[in-house]
Structure 1
Amino acid sequence: MKNYDFNDLVQAYSKLGVTEGRIVYVIADVWEVRGYDRPGSRNLIEAHVEALQSLIGQTGTLVVSTASMNLCNTEIAFDPTQTPSFQRGALSEHVRQLDGALRSFHPFNSYAAIGAQAEELVANVSKGAWGSHTPEARMVELDALTVCLGVTPHLSTTVHLIEQHIGVPYRYNKEFLHPVLRNGTVSRESFYLLVVYKDCGLTRDGNRKLVSYLSDLMEFRETTLGRRTIYSYDNRDFYTQGLKAFTEDIYIWCDTPPTDRPYRE
């Protein structure tokens, strides 16, 4: 794999629109962009974070998903300072553990942020995973930039905010009574996830149709890093144009619409 150095990193992120004062939400599989000229996983991860922070500066904010969906239907208490993220990648885990990083309080779908607007993004959030007063909604309101590193925009999480707000019929808000550690005490609290109806015959298409639709209406920036292409887009554009897409086709997220529709009953 073609090697790249720190200057290459800074130039690539700059081309994607990472600028001073920006809120930058990173969705990453950092192992897909191996080839950094300093060997070792820690050097790789730290270089990417350092490059991003050097561009956004003291007035910018870095955000990652620290979701822990593996806690669903378990008795494992959520501790915002200790519970690791699940299948969100090594870069997300690194950011979560940085001094000064803050984490939103949701046992299944949390976010970590570090920087000037971290508290504004992740404090006092809704008990719902998506919808108003969530980090995802606040990133739209504050026009964050999403950077896709080692993955494509098809992995956008903003789509679920759109599904929540548009009211897609194939999902509903499910309540979970889950143990959490708050103010030094473990107690059970209600939290909510937007889930697909079970056994409804729905098949997902991996946001293929949605991203194709959006590509004609908004900018997906891209540049090369090593031998891989990395991407970015504006959250507000994705959300605004995504609402139009779901308005035209409420099942655009699906490869095939549900064959059974319990929501008709």
Structure 2
Amino acid sequence: MKVVVIGGTGLIGSKLVGKLGEHGHEAVAAAPNTGVNTLTGEGLAEVLEGASVVVDVSNSPSFADDAVMDFFRTSTTNLLKAGSEAGVTHHVALSVVGTDRLQESGYFRAKQAQEELIQASGIPYSIVHATQFFEFMKGIADMSTEGDTVRLAPVKIQPIYSDDVAAAVGRTAVGSPVNGVVEVAGPDVFQLDELIRGALAAKGDPRTVVTDPKAPYSGAQVQENTLVPGPDAHIAETRFADWRAQQK
């Protein structure tokens, strides 16, 4: 089957294109650098011709509140319209575990808007909620840094390897639409502040991690279980310690 991957040249998209190709599917990477722009609509009709499935793993180039909302609203609206006109029968999007619980954050408000547009589109769909990627531990630290101090709440987090995310999205894409949300997470639950403290130390990063129960996460207040999935989540196999050992 032909599967068009929006954001197909990025971290998850490139892995997904490869995995789908290995399983005999015609996987097409669609991104601005391949001539497809969901913000302007450029190239959408052409790339979606003959596609059964479209998978959106794209992300906003800016996380500023207005910019990220504009990105997800505009790109998703254009993609859904083009998909409907092309006869796409399954729309898949990658989103984030806890999106509906993080609505103080402009980024997560934009992701929620994306999900609501998909749900209201009338196109059969599946939304994959993944926990934070192993590769983004430094990014969590960066967004929580003031000077040389990283302030993080002592809440649970259950990160996942990007390869496992791509595999989960791939399985969902070639399966039947669930018309709902599928959650995926890594096998280990950590305390956020302790995880980032250890990750920075392993990289020789001199920043100090301070445990602060009131520290926001991406601009939103978090409770103990805000960032972890529910009991029905698919649990991936790759452990954080094993992944980290391979990075050295």
Settle same-fold status: TM greater than 0.5: no
TM-score (norm 1): 0.31
Instruction: Give the alignment's TM-score, normalised by structure 2.
Output: 0.33
Structure having the larger proportion of residues in helix = 2
- Higher strand fraction (1 or 2): 1
